[in-house]
Amino acid sequence: MKKIIFSKKSFALFSMLLMISVSYAQTTSSAYFLEGFTKRYQLNPAFAPERGTLISIPVLGNLQIDAQSSVGLSNFLYDSKSYPGKLTTFMSPDISRDEFLDNLPSAARFNLGLDMDILSLGFGSTRGYTIFNMKIRNNETLSVPKELFDFMKASLSQGNYMIEDINLRSITYMESSLSHSHRINDNLRIGAALKFIEGLAYADLNIDQIDAQLSEDSWKVRTNGRLRASISGAEYKYDSENNSLDGIDFDEDNFDIPLNFGFAIDLGAEYDMKDFVEGLKLSAAITDIGFVKWNNTGVFETDNSDYVEFKGFEGYDVYDSDKDGTFDSLEEDFKDMIRLYQTKSDGEESIGLNATFRAGAEYTLPMAKWLSVGELFTVRTGVWPYVESLTSVTMSPSGWFDFTGSMGFSSYGSSLGMLLNFHPAGFNFFFAVDRLSVRLNPQFVPVNNFGVNVSLGMNLVIGKKQS
């Protein structure tokens, strides 16, 4: 086998690309019970800003990044036994198959979400509040089963493999919404939002099965998979030898606003239990019930009628060298194993959004009105459903400053969070970390499984506080 030179710098970049090619970001959950937080109507449309007029600062009104991973750098990078003081990848013969696989979960999962408000404008009173909002949202998920890494590690002396369920999905769209919160009586407030969606880019790769059988000095591989993509300005490249998909280039000069449309709704309610338990409020909401219809969708499928020859993955070692062909070699190996052929160029695809259900209970202490405790339960649908239980403590020592600390338990493990919210008359600024469970190496690549959800925003809030 040939040896591929793999520098520390390139491995760090490769790891980051994996993380980025990966939660659905939405307004910080830590602010769910915070009345002085201007953007919590995005979590539950029954909630309304505390002052009569809301104007967001363009782009900075609400910016959130959400990232999660079930693996990190330590799962793929090891101390070299052959070259003490240097590092090597899991592909090195220094690292045994069992040592590598025992350190992996059943599937390596990566998620990345971006939520960015472009414009918000709201007006209201104690009885009703109407808000127009425009934002860009991005959601990317990647799931790679443990069996694929086992196959990458395998030598030509090991048995046959059946690898199932490799998934990659990326979706980016612009959302324009009109929401209204209305007070029915002193106890009940309800809300709804209607959303118009314009799809910008979509790609969905599903490899249902890879059947790899060992022959004399190579593998025979049969793949059953499908790629669907709708990306304005995309140029599909093809391998001249077998006419399979060789890559996707993006040409911004050919970009047109795509005709991909969809709709969604949010529904929510809040009930003050003061007639039964003073200080207790219950609330629930379901958001993003809807779909996007993607036009001009290119469809690429594998030819699973016969086996193709695959010589296997090469060994990757890490050296301090600027000469590095790792990315090209790894990319070519996967292209040889998974060959996609275009079967349709102008298809249509309706894709459901990841709907989210929330239920919350907040109790304000009667002897300390500035202190409350809340419990928020969240369920998100999608390819990999997400469940979280979040306990928060909110302190509002003054009329213009709030602090929230939270602890969550979710599908990705436990996490801690905090939120600082400044909301004097005329201005609101917030900074929140919903989830922070990450240890970074000097190249800022996560060492272990990680989760981070960071958001900030600046908005103008005008008028008297609504009682």
pLDDT in tens, 129-150: 999 999 999 988 888 999 988 8
pLDDT greater than 90 at residue 443: no
pLDDT for res 446: 54
Asked whether the beta carbons of 461 and 50 are under 8 A apart, the reply is: yes
pLDDT for res 316: 53
β-bridge mates for residue 211, sequence order: 162, 222
Digit-coded pLDDT (tens) for 60-70: 888 898 887 88
Q: Which long-range contacts (CB under 8 A, 24 or more apart) does 78-83 make?
A: 80/317, 80/318, 83/319
More confident residue, 270 or 126: 270
Q: Specify the DSSP class assigned to residue 41.
A: G
Q: Which two tokens stand for residue 434?
A: 């919903």
- The number of residues making up the chain comes to 467
More confident residue, 310 or 449: 310
Asked whether the beta carbons of 90 and 116 are under 8 A apart, the reply is: no
What gap in Å lies between CA 301 and CA 245, rounded to an integer? 10
pLDDT for res 8: 41
Please identify which residue in the block is written with the tokens 């799962």. 75
pLDDT greater than 90 at residue 402: yes
DSSP notation for 81-110:
SSSTT-EEETTSTTS-HHHHHTTS-SEEEE
Domain of residue 461: give its range: 3-22+29-465
Asked whether the beta carbons of 439 and 418 are under 8 A apart, the reply is: no
Assign 297 to helix, strand or coil. Answer: strand
**In degrees rounded to 5, what are phi and psi of residue 49?**
-60, 155
For residue 341, give the CATH number of its domain: 2.40.160
pLDDT for res 310: 81
Please identify which residue in the block is written with the tokens 């030179």. 5
Confidence bin at 192 (pLDDT 50/70/90): very high
More confident residue, 242 or 169: 169
pLDDT greater than 60 at residue 315: no
Top-confidence range, 49-63, 68-82, 407-421: 49-63
Asked whether the beta carbons of 455 and 31 are under 8 A apart, the reply is: no
Neighbours of 184 (CB within 10 A): 11
Structurally, the chain folds into a number of domains equal to: 1
Digit-coded pLDDT (tens) for 404-419: 999 888 776 677 889 9
What gap in Å lies between CA 183 and CA 46, rounded to an integer? 9
Q: Which two tokens stand for residue 80?
A: 């070299």
Digit-coded pLDDT (tens) for 320-364: 444 444 455 666 777 778 888 888 877 788 888 889 999 999 999
Q: Which two tokens stand for residue 420?
A: 């600082």
**In degrees rounded to 5, what are phi and psi of residue 254?**
-100, 10
pLDDT averaged over the chain? Answer: 82
pTM, whole model, 2 decimals?
0.81
What gap in Å lies between CA 38 and CA 44, rounded to an integer? 12
